[in-house]
Structure 1
C-alpha cells in the first residue's frame, strides 16, 4: 500500500473573536438576567475567546457548510486552480445545517470548481472529524484516491441563544462545590465555538516544505456497555435509554427542550478520562511507542478542567507526559467539537517550529457515548 501524508492544513473562523465579556451580547440572557454560572464555568474551562457565525442580534453570517467549504478553499489559497484536482471530500460535523441532504454534499455544493467526486459524511460528535480524516487516509493508502480532503466543522451558536432555552434557575452554591455540576445545559453555552478545519491527504510528501506522515489512526467505542452521556434531539429516560425527538409530540419537543444539547454530568466525570486513556496506554504498548518518542501531545479538551485529570492518569500509569509537550488552543478558539483537533494541528503545522523526525500524538475523546480516536504523525 501507499503511504499517506498530510501535506496542507487550513482553517476558517467566522467573524471576530468574541471575548468572555461579550458572550451574552451574542447568546442573550436567559430570563432576562445575566447567568450566575457563567463565571464559574469559564473559570473551570479557562476559555478566553471563541468564534460565532452569528451577529449580536442572532443573524446568521455563515452556514456550517459554507464554513467547511471556506476551510477547504484555504488549502488551495496559493493555487486556486488545483482545487479541481480533489478526488475525495470527507466532511464531518455534529451540527449539520439540515437532517437531509448530508452535510458532505452540501459542502460539495459550495465548491463548484471540483469534479463529480466521491463525498462522504461521517456523523458523530468530536470523533467525527477524525473519522473523516481516517476515511481520507485509508483511501489514499489503498491507492484509490490521490488528493483526498477531510474537513470538520461546527455551527452551534444559533442553538445556544437564550431564546432556545427554558427559564432556568442556576444553583450557584452547588456549582461552586462540584465543577461537574456546571456541565449542564448552561455549561455548553460558555464552551462551544463555531469554525472549520481541513486536511489535504496525499500519497507523497511536499518537496519544498514539511508534511506529516500518518503512522496510524486507531479508534474505539464503549457504547456496548456505556449509556449515552451527551445527546441532542432526544431525552434520557430513567433506565438510561434515549427517546428520540421523533417519538415526542411537537409541543413536547418544545416543552422538554428536546432539541437542546444535554450532558449527563455524573457519567462524564466518572468515565471520560479513565476509559479512553486506558485504551491509549494499551495502543502505545501494542505499537511499541513510548512517550519519550513523542515531541507534541495534542489532546482535544472540552475544558482545561480535564487537563489535570489526564495528567494524573498518565503519571499514575507510568507514562507521564512533560507539560512542555502538551499543546492545545482551547483558550483562544473555544471547543469547536469535531473541528477542534484540526484547529490544534493547523496551528502547530503552520507555526514554523516543527522539525523533521518529530512525532505528534493526537487524542480525541468524545463523551456522547464514550468514543475515542488516537493518531500518531511524523514530521517529514
Structure 2
C-alpha cells in the first residue's frame, strides 16, 4: 500500500463576500417583510460573511458544477494540468440535478480526457467521502493521483420565493435559540463555494500533508433522519419521498426545502460526534496530546462551547489553542467546509514539519461522521 499526500489545495468562493446587513437583500424578503428570527440566528451562529453565487440583480452566476470546475482548475498549472487527472471524486449536498451525477457534470465542464469519476452523495460528509475514495484509490495503486472536491450551491434553495414561512415564535427563540434551526437557521448560515485537493503517492510542494488514516461512522441504525430535503418526515419518523406525492403537492408542501428536526439535532449531534471521534482515536492509538491542529466542521458557533465541554466529558479534550475554524469568514459551506479550512490553514504559513492535523466532519442528515488524521511533511 502506498502513502498518500495532499500536495495541492484550492478554493473558489463566488463573487464578493456578503455581510449580515446585506444577505437578506440577496436572498429576498419572505412575504415582503424583514425576518424577525434572522438577528437571533446570526447572534448564535456568529457568521459575519458568506458567499453567494448570485449577482446584485439576483441572477445566478454559477451552478454547483461550475463552482467545482473553478476549484479544480485552480489546482492546475504547467506542472499538473487537467489532462493529468486520473480520478475525479466529487462530494456535495446540493447537486444541480438528480441525473447525471455531480462528478459527471464537473468532468463535462473540464473537457479534459476520459477518466474515472465518482460522486459522493449525502450532506457535509460527502466531501470527506469523496476524499476517502480518492485516498483509497491512490493508496491501493489503482490510480497515481486523484482530485477530490467538496462543493455547495445552496443559495438558490434559500431564496425567498421558494423558502417556507419564517419561524414566528420569537419569544421561544430568545429562550432557546436552537428552535430557530427548524426553519430559518439554514437560511442565515449556508454559503456557496468549492474546495479541491490533489492526492498523489509522493510528497511535493511547499506543505504536503500525509493522510495517516481516515474513518467514517454512521448512526442511522439507531437514529431517524434529522436534516432532510426531497420528502416529508412522517409521524413514525420515516421519510416519504417526493416521488410518492402528486406533482401539485411538491411546492405546496415545500418538499424540496431543507428541514431540520431540532429535537434530534440537539440531543445527539455532539454526543455521537465525540463518541465516534473517541473511537477513531482509540483505534489508531492517537491521544489529544498528539494533535497540533483540530479542525472541526461546525454549522454554528452556537455549538462551539458545547463541543468543547463534550470533548472534555468524554476525555478527549482539545485545548482552545489547537482549534482552527473559519466559519465566521466564509459561512457554512457544507461539504466544502473542511477543504476551505485546510486551504486557509496551509496558506497561513503557520504549519511546521511533523505537526499533526485532525479533521472532524459531522453530518446531521442521519448522523454520520468522518475523520482524517494528517501529518505536515
Identify the TM-score tier after normalising by the shorter chain. over 0.9
CA contact (8 A) 2:164 2:257 kept: no
Q: CA deviation at 1:168?
A: 4.1
1:80 and 1:70 map into 2 onto residues whose CA distance is 18
- Secondary structure, in 3 states, of the residue corresponding to 1:320? coil
Residues 1:268 and 2:272 aligned together? no
Counterpart of 1:346 (choices 338, 343, 347) is: 343
Q: How many residues align?
A: 377
Q: Which position in structure 2 is the counterpart of 1:4?
A: 4
Q: Which position in structure 1 is the counterpart of 2:35?
A: 35
Residues 1:15 and 2:15 aligned together? yes
Deviation string, structure 1 residues 324-362 (Cα, Å, up to 9, x no partner): 110110000000000000000110112111100000000
2:184 and 2:55 map into 1 onto residues whose CA distance is 20
Residues 1:54 and 2:51 aligned together? no
- Secondary structure, in 3 states, of the residue corresponding to 1:226? coil
Q: Which position in structure 2 is the counterpart of 1:311?
A: 308
Equivalent residue runs for 1:169-318 within 5 Å: 170-206=168-204, 208-318=205-315
Residues 1:333 and 2:333 aligned together? no
- Secondary structure, in 3 states, of the residue corresponding to 1:235? strand
Q: CA deviation at 1:192?
A: 0.3
Q: Which position in structure 2 is the counterpart of 1:72?
A: 72
- Secondary structure, in 3 states, of the residue corresponding to 2:206? coil
Deviation string, structure 1 residues 247-294 (Cα, Å, up to 9, x no partner): 111221111111110000010000000012111112212211111111
Q: CA deviation at 1:315?
A: 1.2
Deviation string, structure 1 residues 187-207 (Cα, Å, up to 9, x no partner): 11101000000010000001x
Q: CA deviation at 1:81?
A: 6.1
Q: CA deviation at 1:57?
A: 3.5
1:57 and 1:181 map into 2 onto residues whose CA distance is 32
- Secondary structure, in 3 states, of the residue corresponding to 1:258? coil
- Secondary structure, in 3 states, of the residue corresponding to 2:199? strand
- Secondary structure, in 3 states, of the residue corresponding to 1:362? strand
2:167 and 2:97 map into 1 onto residues whose CA distance is 31
Deviation string, structure 1 residues 156-209 (Cα, Å, up to 9, x no partner): 101101000244452110000111101022111101000000010000001x52
CA RMSD, aligned part only?
Answer: 1.1
The change in CA–CA distance for 1:168 and 1:291 in structure 2 (over 3 A counts) is: closer
Equivalent residue runs for 1:93-172 within 5 Å: 93-112=92-111, 114-168=112-166, 170-172=168-170
| Structure 2 runs not aligned, ≥5 long | none
Question: Bigger shift: 361-370 or 305-314?
Answer: 305-314
Q: CA deviation at 1:146?
A: 1.0
1:308 and 1:123 map into 2 onto residues whose CA distance is 30
Q: Which position in structure 2 is the counterpart of 1:320?
A: 317
- TM-score relative to the length of structure 2: 0.98
- TM-score relative to the length of structure 1: 0.97
CA contact (8 A) 1:300 1:341 kept: yes
Deviation string, structure 1 residues 84-130 (Cα, Å, up to 9, x no partner): 11100001111111111010010001111x22000010100000000
1:237 and 1:42 map into 2 onto residues whose CA distance is 30
Q: CA deviation at 1:309?
A: 1.1
2:312 and 2:165 map into 1 onto residues whose CA distance is 43
